[in-house]
Amino acid sequence: MKKLKITELNRLTPEEFKVHKKTSLIVVLDNVRSMHNVGSVFRTSDAFLVESVYLCGITNIPPHAEIHKTALGAENTVDWKYFEDAHEAVKQLKETGYTVFAIEQAEGSTLLPDLKLHASEKYAVILGNEVKGVQQSVIDICDGCIEIPQFGTKHSLNVSVTSGIIIWEFFKKLNP
């Protein structure tokens, strides 16, 4: 099978991307330390037409060389917003009709394969700090927690990988 050339991939131009119909999903990063993770979330969000990325707390914002290294320009196509406090972001999202999930391993969390979404609704997911995860007080104001089931020795996945799996699943479920 012949590999496709970049010109054969028929990707959107940045201008086309801006006006293209988006996936009804906002990705919220709360206190994400690594700019590689931030950049990677932008790149994945570009691929699956995420509506916006909200950067909160200590999470760095574009433009930044370290974010660009993994975003490769997706920080310029995907819409983003900064909030000093993730609680404020969640409040605004809920007031404007979004169902907000924290991505966490919590009591009573919904396992990702069991998650039911409705194509007509709007969603936001919150990913937290690399070490501490999503703050308990932020979880407390969310509509629920989503957990990626894991079966090995390590307690969690990398933030880039977690967001990749989550965005991919939301994209599939919202664009059936």
Cis bond before residue 63 (omega within 30° of 0): yes
Distances (CA, A) of 132 to 32, 63, 82, 106, 138: 10, 26, 20, 13, 12
Residue with Cβ nearer its own copies (95 or 107):
107
Provide the angle, in degrees to the nearest 10, between the axes of the packed helices 35-47 and 159-174. Answer: 20
Return the residue matching tokens 């969000």: 45
Interface pick for its own copies out of 35, 148, 170, 174 (rule CB under 8 A): 148
Interface pick for its own copies out of 38, 59, 103, 164 (rule CB under 8 A): 164
24 binds its own copies (CB under 8 A): no
141 binds its own copies (CB under 8 A): no
Site string for its own copies, 78-117 (x = CB under 8 A): x-----------------------x-xxxxxx---x----
| Per-residue burial over 37-57, b = 16 or more CB atoms within 10 Å of its CB, e = otherwise | bbbbbbbbbbebbbbebbbbb
Q: How far is the CB of 33 from its own copies (least distance, A)?
A: 13
Give yes or no for a contact between 127 and 164, defined as CB atoms under 8 angstroms apart.
no
Interface pick for its own copies out of 26, 49, 124, 125 (rule CB under 8 A): 49
Distances (CA, A) of 176 to 98, 172, 173: 20, 6, 6
What is the residue type of 86?
A: A
Query: Which range in 54-62, 89-97, 118-126, 161-169 contacts its own copies by CB under 8 A?
Result: 161-169
Q: How far is the CB of 122 from its own copies (least distance, A)?
A: 19
Give yes or no for a contact between 117 and 174, defined as CB atoms under 8 angstroms apart.
yes
Q: Which residues 121-140 are close enough to bind its own copies by CB under 8 A?
A: 133-134, 136, 139-140
Residues near its own copies (CB under 8 A) are 1-4, 6, 9, 11-14, 16-17, 20, 36, 40, 43-49, 70, 72-74, 77-78, 102, 104-109, 113, 133-134, 136, 139-140, 144-145, 148, 150-155, 157-158, 160-165, 168, 172
